[in-house]
Structure 1
Amino acid sequence: TQGGTERSTAEGGAINPPLSPRNANYTIDASLEPARRTITGRELITWHNISTKTATELQFHLYWNA
């Protein structure tokens, strides 16, 4: 338990109930091309602004070797 609230782990490792609102989801499709030493991919991101403030920018980070 955490803070007196019982939590469990669902199939796939997700914590139930979630620790925070689920405001973002993503799907990544990537393929490795060893002969060319490249990875080609695309990502679909769905984001919902759950605050009362207007979002004027979104920042994305790509972590190498992550």
Structure 2
Amino acid sequence: MAVPVSAARELSALKWVPLEDFDVHVETYQERRIREAVTALRNGHRIPLLTRGETAGRVPPPQTKAREGEP
């Protein structure tokens, strides 16, 4: 597992934990996010991996030049 240096102190261990035990091992906001993600996957929904708020691997639209006289 790769962890950014700035987040290294937030991770003290790596361990597989059953969903029903999450409340003991993670913060409340993390538990909600994980449970929502698992529910979505179980229901056949795709969860996008985001990088800086954009779907990872997404090709950004091409930049267009403004026409003369347009902002």
TM-score range, shorter chain: under 0.3
TM-score, with normalisation over the residues of structure 1? 0.25
Question: Which structure has the larger Rg over C-alpha atoms?
Answer: 2
Q: More strand per residue: 1 or 2? A: 1
Which one has more relative contact order, counting CA pairs under 8 Å at least 6 apart? 1
